[in-house]
Structure formats: structure tokens, C-alpha cells
Chain A
Amino acid sequence: MKKTGIYIHIPFCRSKCAYCDFYSLPATKYSSETVEEYVHALERQITCFIQNRAEKITVDSIYFGGGTPSLLSGCQFDMVLSLLNKSFDITRDAEITAESNPCTLSKQKLSEMKAAGLNRLSLGVQSFSDTELETIGRLHSAAQATEAFYLARECGFDNIGLDLILGLPGQTKESFFDSLEKSVSLHPEHLSVYGLSLEEDTPLYRNRDFYTFPGEEVCAGMFSDAVSRLAENGYQRYEISNFAMDGYRCRHNLHYWHGDEYLGFGVAASSYFNGVRSTARKDLRAFLKCRSSGDFDAFSVVEEVIGPEEKAREYIMLSLRLTEGLSVSKLKELTPDSGFYLGKCDNYLKSGLMRKENDRLFFTERGFEVSNSILSEILY
């Protein structure tokens, strides 16, 4: 049976981090009334979406991303989740995640979130070095992150993921492994290690010349060491940047990587539904206006209609992000041109950047590190 994921974007933060180019507003640009209005608009959007739909869609993951979703009150989470429960067929074991910033988490907030039905936290720790945290404009300290983690445990969250960033300005091998050790010592169920990407239109990019970034060689070394350290501690790499204990892979993100359908609600959220990928505009005011008009469809921009060939190409791009890689027989089912793509992989197989076992083709560790270059060669 087809199972779908739901993504809900919360475009509010206390302040904007120096590296972030996602759509979110700092506290100076909104009030608590705005947040309340936004939640009501979300409710209206969900209601409009299910109108005239004969059958309920089965959903097994809900993901609040941002921005800083943990800025919502327990009550607001409850409103959204209750509506989703009524509107969709949410499976009993559904994974319900909120990204959260350690500085927004009190014991009370965490218990309310738990009570509202959230069962997974993705904690944006980024680093356990206070200097690094300050440089990138995070509002929390390393100690606050640790405290938030323990509070979450106390409140019953038994599925927590920590995010770390590799390649931060001023980061050294030592400071990175210190962050990694501290993360591991907390025993989270899930760990993500993202390479910093300098996006234009961010303060970090504009001021890049004032910072010292660890070099490519250093980053590559840190990453491969991290992979083995995490493995020693029971964290299996299952995607380029993601590691998990057995049974704790992030189901929501796996939907993306498996090419499943997903629904996005809120500003800037992407959906892939009935073969169409669309993304909502990055305009909070316009979104709030839709609350009265109800015309949320016009608020979204259709980006692509994914035909069979594109579906196959996306399958290559997404499945190769996973350590399990792609299934050759599935690719052959998806496209008559599978030979074209597989042929391009031959060189990488020879040079040890890819491997093939039975039906599956996947990146080696070295291949993962240059996967962008390889994928752009295979696909374009």
C-alpha cells in the first residue's frame, strides 16, 4: 500500500543563522499573532486540500521543518496534528518529527510537544564548540544543547536525531571530533553530518574572506574518519550524510530518497503528488491572504511534471544517495535507456568510486565524497 509523507514548513526563527538560506524570518519581522495566523492558514490549506477527495491518503511520516518549528506552542502543534489526524489516514506507527533549536526547548514545551503526538526530535546542535556556534550565529551554547537533549529524554522522546555541520569556519580536526564524541556520548538514535555549503545571499558567504575554512583535504579526512567512528559506535551510514542505530533511519527523509510521493504545507514547502512537483512561493504575506481566499493552488508553482524518463533519472540521483544504492532491475523497468546510464557508471566502477553487488549499484565511500560530480556526469 502506498504511504505518503507530509512536510510542514514553519518559517520563523529567533534569529537567522549566518549560513542559512532557507525561507525563514527572524523575530524582528513577525509577532506571536503572526505565528497564530500562520497556523490557522495551515489549517485552512489542509482543509482545502482534502476537500472533494474521495479517499483518505495514508500517511506514515509527518515532518515539521523550518525555520524553527519548536517555536510553535504545544497547543499549536496539537491544532495542526489533530487536523492532520482527522484529514488523513495516519498509520499507528507514524514517525512524527519536529526540527528544533536547543534554545527553544523547555521541559514544559517538550512535554507539550510529546503530548501533541510528536515522537521524534531532530536537534540542530551543529557543533559542540561555543566559538564555532557563535561564529555561525547560533543562539545556543554547547551546554544548552546537552541540557535540551537530556530534557527531551526526560520527557519521553526515545527517538532523537542530532545534526552536526562539517567544514565550519574555524573548525579543526580536533574540534570536529570533539563535537562528534560529545554527540555519540549522548547516545542519540540518529546523527546527520552535513558538509557546510556556502550559499550566496548569506552573511557567511558575503564575509567568507574573513573566515578560515578547513580545506577540502581536511574535510574529506574528517568525514571518512567520522564514518568509521560512528560505525564503531553502532551508527550505520545509510545515506550520504545520515547515520542511524538499527531501526531508527528517518522514515520521512527516506520517502524523498525512495522517490515516494509527499505533500508539503506552508510557505516554501515542496510537494510531489500525482507525478507533479510543485513548490509554494516564499512569501508569508501572500500565504496568509490565502487563508480567506482558500486559493492555495495558485500559491504553489508547478516546477515539473515528472514523466517516466525523469522518474528514472530521479531514481538514479536519489537512490544513489543511499548506501543500498540503486537496483539495476528496477532501473531497467523504469527506462528503456538504462544502458545509457549504466554505461556511464562503468568508469566509476573501474576506478573504485562505485561498486556493484548482485542487482545493486552503489557508491563506495570515496565515491560518496565526490557524488555531486559523478551524478552530474551520469545525468547530464
Chain B
Amino acid sequence: MNERQSHIRNFSIIAHVDHGKSTLADRLLEITKTVTSREMEDQLLDNMELERERGITIKARAVRMLYRHTDGEDYILNLIDTPGHVDFNYEVSRSLYACEGAVLVVDATQGVEAQTLANAYLAIDAGLEVVPVINKIDLPSADAVRVRGEIEDVIGIPADGCPEVSAKTGLNIESVLSAVVEQIPPPKGNEDDPLRALIFDSYYDPYLGVVVNIRVFDGTVRTGDKIKMMSSGAVFEVTDVGALEPFGLSSTGVIRSGEVGYLTASIKTLSDTSVGDTITLADNPAVKALPGFKKVSPMVFSGIYPEDGARYEDLKDALTKLRLNDAALSYEPETSLALGFGFRCGFLGLLHMEIIQERLEREFNLDIITTAPSVVYKIDRKDGTTVFIDNPSNYPGNDEIDKAYEPMVKASIITPCEYVGGIMELCQDRRGIFLDMKYIDKTRAELHYNLPLSEIIYDFFDSLKSRSKGYASLDYELCGYSESKLVKLDFLLNGEPVDALSFIVHEEKAYPRARKIAEKLKENIPRALFEIPIQAAIGGKVIARETVKAMRKDVLAKCYGGDITRKKKLLEKQKEGKKKMRRLGSVEVTPEAFMAVLKFDDD
């Protein structure tokens, strides 16, 4: 290893949601003068409007900092920020593969939570050095001693003498940087070997084309080099390389082994640069690619349709652009009798789905209708074939099905002991299978359950929070398929089935859910001049029914003093109000009616 590399540290910050990861990142940027305090704003790396509003990190980001250590030497610290929510675990893994170490932030008032554990294990599995940091020690309820104990006992990494900081007030921040330099190993690799650079992120810039963020493991890449993508074989000429600065890119002309930076090469389509691929030089290629990442597969699917059918192309364009930055999003065209042309989209989870919806609406100004989310079911047909179903419309008839399976997750829940009862009840209610429970300390327990994915994608997280006054935390991972008794629930409005409202549900849950949705539809379908029956049916058999009564009377307003123009305006306004509605056969439905099916609150 050369002198240059020994002065580089590549690290991520990982944490449970709200334990102060982004705030700590802000402080590190400040103390290393990577940004001046004038430029500083909260959650600096979370530059998506949505991230700031929700106080979460969605996209991983990288930035280079310069730090003079107590040994008098200058170090380059590459910080790769990561998201905290379980939906975005894959982003965490991607970032981790570009690093040698991870700073694990733990809230001194909360202790180890489900994602603290999950993220710590991801880092350990990736072979990273984990540096624990206890945050929020300025708070009166902080208990650093207890939390240190938890880190050692539950996660199993030494925490004695670990930095205890307050990212909010800036207390002891310097000690984090010292620990990074001292505990995290410098990058290995040889700058004279054939180039091997890992693409850990990419995005589309309208001026530069695709910008890829890379970690160079071996070799050197320079502006003007001919590079080759090892999986696709595509060859490009590098137009620029450089370092990642908080407010953009800083061209350096070269990136050497051990360094993190960006690369542009007039790449027009993102399919040429899949994240996880290895870049090498076209005329001096490496023999073997870097390990790369496990491909993320979407777990939750739903139909997305433009409210105004004429904007289908705009929606397609928007999804294409979002996909550039979000490898986990999948989409393919589908049509619905009720909603027209749209897309079947795959997401990592419900939060991911909500975020995509919000970004479509905000960043692309689209009004969209989303259908009920569905997981991917596995069906063994009687003819011996097996199909995977992510769209209720394609669900085979009951007489064709031999066996049906639904995806299961292994869930880990950490909660203060007093809420264990309520949480077990919740898991029971969601068809969970209890695996085990262990005590983290006197006051907190960790529960493990096998749960159907379909049960947790709706409102499980919210219910968990409300049953634990917000204290319980959740992490889960897919663990295969289980045989299940499934039925397809259809809804009919005025006798006509509405495909976009159908969904697949466990037999036992069909009746209560059918009733609830029928009620919600009733609330969301405006009364018409005729009566509208709402029926929920399984295979033609009606199991729940509601009726939207016909409108009896609209106000017989006086046509006063010849002000006919005003009267006309009122009629026109009345009609305008109906324009937003979707016509399903003879029934007009507000877009909200579709959303109503999405939400199953427990109330």
C-alpha cells in the first residue's frame, strides 16, 4: 500500500431512523470545513425536498472531506451517506460495498433498535470495520452506559471508549473523525493494476448524461480513457472524472485506487451502467469483475395511472427518469378497463411506493391514481405449471389453482417490555408465527415472527407504532413462500366489476376487508341521480354490499332578480367539480375512492 492510500478513509454512516445520522453528517461537513457555516443548512446531504420534509434519507449520497488528524497528517475522508428505512436496505448495502468502515450511530436515549441491528449486521457481513458512536448525549434522558452495554451485548462489537457526542450541539464531533482515521483501515488495492471500479450509484443529468459514482478498487482512471462496462461490454470514452463535493462535482482528471468519485462518459442510457457493475479499461481490462450486488427485486406492486388519460406519455417519461436514479423501481405497461393505460410498478415497500407517488406528483406535476398494492403470489396450477402473480387481474380462477403461496418475511421487533403483549396480539392478528423472544436488557425485548408480507405492507408499521407509543422498531427480510388460502376479492359498482379495485387476500380476512372497503367506497362515491349498489364478491358470490342512495334534492335556489349569469356560473361550477371524477361504466368515482382501498386503518 502506498503513502497516498494510507491517507484515505472510505466510510458510511449507518443508523436506525431518527438516531441522528444526517445531523452527524452535517456536523462532520462543518468541522472539516467542507462547507462553511454560511452554506450550511440542515440535512445537507438530503437535497431532495421530500427527504427534508419527512426528515429521512432516501438516496445515498457521497461527499469528500479533508481532515487534519491529531498526528498532524492530512486525510481524505469519503463519506457515503445511507438511508435508514427498512425499504431502502439495498441502498445501504450498495454504499457499504464502497467502504472499508461504517460509523454506527446509536441514540443515547433509545439504545439499539431493529435497524441498528440490521444495518450493523449488513456492515459486518460486508467485512467492514464498525465504529460505534453514541449520539444525543446532551439529552436529559441519555444513558450512554446502558447503550454502550447494549452495543456490546446485542450487536457484539466492542464499544468501550467509543465517541459519545451530540450532533445537535456539536459536542465531541472531532472524536468521531479521530476514530474513523484510527479504527477504519485505509483502502487496499494497487493503482498500477488493471482498473476495477465499482459503480455504487448513478443518476441522469440532462447536460452530462449519466453520471456514475464509483469507488476505484484497483488501477487508475483518467479523463480520455476508453472504459468498458464488464457486464454489458459497452465501451465509452471518459469525458470527466473528479471528486464529489457537497454542492456538485469537482473535476480532477484522475481517480486512483482507494478513491471515491464520479465519472462521466457521454452515456445516454442507464441500462449501460447498471449499479454494481465493474468498470475497467478497454485496452487493459481486468480479468475478474468485483463481486457486485445482489439484484434488488421489488416486493410490492401496484398500478399507477394518469388521472388524465392524455398524460400517459408524460407518466412514462417520468417513470423512466425516476428509474435512472432508483434501480429498485420497476415498471411495465398495463391496461385496466376502469383506468385505461398505465403501468404496473414494483416497489421495495410501501414507503418506497409513497415516495415514488409523491415524486411523480411533485417533480413531474402529474395527478395519478394508484391501485391497491399487491405482493407477488406464487400459484401452482392444476396443469402442473407455476406462475407468479403481481396483478390481481391475472389471478387464475379457483378451479385452475392447485396450491397458492404467499411471500413471508422474518420480522424482528425491538420494543420496551410493557408493549410486548399488545405487539404479540398485533402479530397474531396479522397471521404471524411466533419464533422466539429474547430480552436485550431488563427493559427491552426483541421478538421474532414469521409474517405474511401482505400483512405488513399495509399499515403494520403504523399499528406497531401506535401500540408501543412509538417505541417499537421493526426490521424484516424476505424468507420465502408459504402455502396459503387465498381468494380474489372483486368489487362491482352498479353491477359492473371494476378491475382496478380487485385484490388478493387471505380467506379469513376477506369478509371484514370486503365490508370495510365497501363502506369506504360508499363514503367516496358521490351520490348520483340513481341508486348505486356496491358489491364485494369472491368468484361471483357476493359477500358484502352497500348502497349509495340516489340524490333526492339539490337546492332549489332562487333565480334572483334576473341574475342569470350567476346562475349559469353555479351550474358550470357544479359540472367542473365532476370533471375530476373517473367514469366507471355508469358510475362516477372520485380518485380518492381508489386511495380509500389502499388505506386500512384500524379505527
Contacts and interface: CB of A to CB of B under 8 A. Distances in A.
B565 interface: yes
Contacts, number: 108
Contact of A314 (B551, B556, B568, B572): B568
A177 interface: no
Contact of A195 (B530, B557, B567): B557
A256 B559 contact: yes
B554 interface: yes
Interface string A364-380: 00001111111111011
Given A240-B556, A353-B529, A369-B552, A264 B561 contact: yes
Contacts of B576: 380
Given A317-B571, A373-B529, A379-B571, A22 B562 contact: no
Which residue, B554, B570, B575, B576, has most C-beta atoms of chain A within 10 A?
Answer: B554
A117 B553 CA distance: 40
Interface in B489-517: none
B556 A7 contact: no
A277 B565 CA distance: 8
Contacts of A220: 552-553
A373 B574 contact: yes
B564 A277 contact: yes
A271 B557 CA distance: 20
A351 B530 contact: yes
Contacts of B310: none
B555 interface: yes
B574 A351 contact: no
Interface string A220-248: 10010000000000000000110000000
A351 B553 CA distance: 16
A18 interface: no
Interface residues of A, number: 48
Interface string A312-330: 0010011001000000000
A270 interface: yes
Contacts of B438: none
Contacts of A348: 529
Nearest to A303: B565
A145 B559 CA distance: 24
Interface in B93-121: none
B554 A369 contact: yes
B522 to A, nearest CB: 16
Contacts of B572: 376, 379-380
Interface in A243-296: 256-257, 262, 264, 268-272, 277, 279
B560 interface: yes
A268 B563 CA distance: 9
A270 B563 CA distance: 6
B564 A370 contact: no
A85 interface: no
B469 interface: no
B581 to A, nearest CB: 12
B561 A371 contact: no
A373 B551 contact: yes
B553 A9 contact: no
A256 B552 CA distance: 27
A7 B570 CA distance: 22
Interface in A173-229: 194-197, 216-217, 219-220, 223
B558 interface: yes
B567 A317 contact: yes
B556 A194 contact: yes
Contact of A375 (B530, B571, B578): B571
A304 interface: yes
A257 B559 CA distance: 9
A137 interface: no
Contacts of B553: 195, 216, 219-220, 223, 369-370
A169 interface: no
Contacts of B552: 216-217, 219-220, 369-370
Given A264-B562, A272-B562, A380-B571, A372 B557 contact: yes
B575 A376 contact: yes
Contacts of B562: 7, 256, 262, 264, 269-272
Contacts of B555: 167, 195-197, 372
Contacts of B551: 216, 370, 373
Given A314-B568, A317-B567, A270 B561 contact: yes
Contacts of A279: 563, 565
B574 A65 contact: no
Contacts of A270: 561-565
A194 B556 CA distance: 6
B529 A374 contact: yes
16 contacts: A7-B561, A7-B562, A195-B557, A217-B552, A219-B552, A223-B553, A257-B559, A262-B562, A272-B564, A304-B565, A317-B567, A369-B552, A374-B529, A375-B571, A379-B568, A380-B571
Interface of B: 529-530, 551-565, 567-568, 570-572, 574-576, 578
Given A216-B553, A270-B561, A317-B571, 15 more contacts: A22-B561, A219-B552, A223-B556, A256-B562, A269-B561, A270-B565, A272-B562, A314-B564, A321-B559, A351-B529, A351-B530, A369-B556, A371-B556, A379-B568, A380-B575
Closest 7 CB pairs between A and B? A380-B575, A220-B552, A220-B553, A195-B556, A372-B554, A376-B574, A376-B571
